[in-house]
Structure 1
């Protein structure tokens, strides 16, 4: 048995505590079907009723999937979304989870990521770190991020911190696999300043040279360099440019790979996203959600420095 198939089985065992009587849905697209088949075969080997459904890879992260996919998600006990763009922050995922489906989203996962890296993390370590940072976000009010002399500030007061551990044993639990992050929706019009992004950007891969993002009243108004222009094009001219998320990576075995699914989980990084955030407590529905990963930042939560150049204080 290949390591890929073994790790796919471990995902069902460790992340879902999958029971033999449960139904499994694998959602994939035309670009990701090879990897999706490992999970389909793993579910069959486990003795579960398994269905694989596939749709064209002509969509952006945060965009709603076809209606048939959204409906199918509601009727599975466990669903894995092995897709090239992310279904994590969609109403389709939110509504299916509200009905009890346990959902793991794996946007952009590669064979390398299925073999090693974030997927190898100790679950208890990830859960403990995630809980610590989620509590800080839950009780915090103002965030300040400094990187290479640039400063970005915004407010999170009144918003709910969200733990993403990748462990979904109870009905309705959902999130990324592999995982390890604590995140929150900032107050949409509160972000002002600049941020240096030097890790990766969802759908664009590793950052080739640092990009300076400039925000005014929560809206991204400028992004430097060629990849910065590509980011602006991805986000569009409307609500896609509004700040949507602030997240802190909590997975010690995650690596910067060029795939945000793993990159945003790296311990010692933070990420900012733009676009939709209504599914996790914000106000924006934009049809797009794009994460930008920052390596080794210095972060203050209210007056407390919680991270200095990527090291936890």
Structure 2
């Protein structure tokens, strides 16, 4: 256990730039409580005032935390969200960032992930790759993703690429930890076509067989197979089925494990998500955000091949 506390101390110091006089808030739930206590011990070992808040487990990624948690998140300098479902794309996270907190979201992180895979990356390399792809997304307008004779197109015109490097040095910076992705909010009604998902889906895990998603005017209208049916159920009938995100993995140490926190960071993959995207430049609020990972796709940006491997 002490070895993991040392890992957590290194993360607090190097990834979150925790300073001696800063308050550290750890938000957790029953499923993630054991790992949250490791970071609680680490924060106290660094002599930081460290607060551990345990809430009822949310029912899905993107669901807001309770009001007392949201208020506390705005009051700390460093916030770790070590939870079963993701708080990354919530209003609470966005408001905490706006208040100046450095926020690391760690949905579904496991003991294994504290020692292997994405967390062990060369984060200077991750930062360089992430900035590179964000620059391309910033300048781009039209994206197409092709896989197994299927093609999905959508617009990102006027939207900004968001870097998630896993390193948060400055006030208001936030993202996943471990991390490594460049992502953007597509124009919500612009996506048309079909795409094969063959990696993993948040809340479902690694797919045993690929599924095909069909979108029309930005909305998911059809999903094949049992996992496709489960995806539709997770998203609900309304705004949850609107395209929310296009992301590019930039972490060469990340593995496809069934945990989307790591899966969507794998270099050589891209992901699309459905549901909320207002916290990162979109217009949709849905109370859910579900990522779908695609392995080895062919991506073009304004007609030019986008090399991701």
Query: Which TM-score band (shorter chain)?
Result: over 0.9
1:240 and 1:274 in contact (8 A); partners too? yes
Cα gap change, 1:171 to 1:58, in 2 (>3 Å): closer
- Checking the alignment, whether the CA contact within 8 Å between 1:25 and 1:79 is kept in structure 2 is yes
* Partner Cα separation in structure 2 for residue 149 and residue 41 of structure 1: 51
State the 1:58 CA deviation: 3.6
1:280 alignment partner in structure 2: 280
Aligned counterparts, 1:227-266, within 5 A? 227-266=227-266
Is 2:216 aligned against 1:224? no
**Match for residue 172 of structure 2?**
172
Task: Determine the C-alpha separation between the residues in 1 that align with 2:126 and 2:262.
Answer: 13
Q: Distance in 1 between matches of 2:40 and 2:152?
A: 43
Gap regions ≥5 residues in structure 2: none
Equivalent pair of 1:200/1:293 in contact (CA under 8 Å): yes
- What is the aligned partner in structure 2 of residue 299 from structure 1? 299
The aligned residue for residue 127 of structure 2 is: 127
TM superposition score normalised by structure 2: 0.98
The structural deviation recorded for 1:61 is 0.5
Alignment check: 8 A CA contact 1:166 1:180 kept: yes
Q: In the TM superposition, what whole-angstrom CA distance separates every residue of 1:120-179 from its partner, at most 9, and x where no partner exists?
A: 011110000001000000000100111111110001000011111111111111111011
Q: CA deviation at 1:59?
A: 2.2
Shift of 1:10: 1.4
Residue 14 of structure 1 and its aligned partner are, at CA, apart by 1.2
List structure 1 runs of 4+ shifted beyond 3 angstroms.
none
Write the distance in 1 (CA, Å) between the matches of 2:5 and 2:149.
45
Q: Is 1:51 aligned to residue 51 of structure 2?
A: yes
Asked whether the 8 Å contact 1:73–1:79 carries over to 2, the reply is yes
What are the superposed Cα offsets for residues 43-78 of structure 1, whole Å, 9 maximum, x if unpaired?
A: 011111101000111421011110011011011110
CA distance in 1 between counterparts of 2:286 and 2:16 reads 30
Q: Which residue of 2 aligns with 1:118?
A: 118
Alignment length (residue pairs): 309
> Do 1:3 and 1:115's aligned partners in 2 also have CA atoms closer than 8 Å?
no
Contact 2:120–2:253 (Cα < 8 Å) also in 1: yes
For 2:228, what is the secondary structure of its paired residue?
A: helix
Q: Determine if contact 2:251/2:266 at 8 Å carries over to the other structure.
A: yes
Q: Where in structure 2 are the equivalents of 1:1-313 lying within 5 Å?
A: 2-307=2-307, 311=309
* TM-score relative to the length of structure 1: 0.97
Displacement after TM superposition at 1:85 (Å): 0.3
State the distance in 2 between where 1:263 and 1:55 align: 26
CA displacement, residues 8-57 of structure 1 (integer Å, 9 cap, x when unaligned): 11111111121111110000011110111111111011111101000111
Per the TM alignment, residue 180 of structure 1 is displaced from its structure 2 partner at its CA by: 0.5
| In 2: Cα distance, 1:68 partner to 1:227 partner | 35
Cα distance in 1, alignment partners of residues 298 and 29 from structure 2 = 38
Distance 1:3 1:193 in 2: 48
Determine the C-alpha separation between the residues in 2 that align with 1:302 and 1:4: 45
Contact 2:58 2:65 in 1 (8 A): no
Contact 1:182 1:249 (8 Å CA) reproduced? yes
Distance across 2 between alignment mates of 1:233 and 1:200: 16
Cα offsets for 1:200-239 (capped at 9, x unmatched): 1111111111010000110001111111111000000000
Distance in 1 separating the partners of 2:120 and 2:58: 31
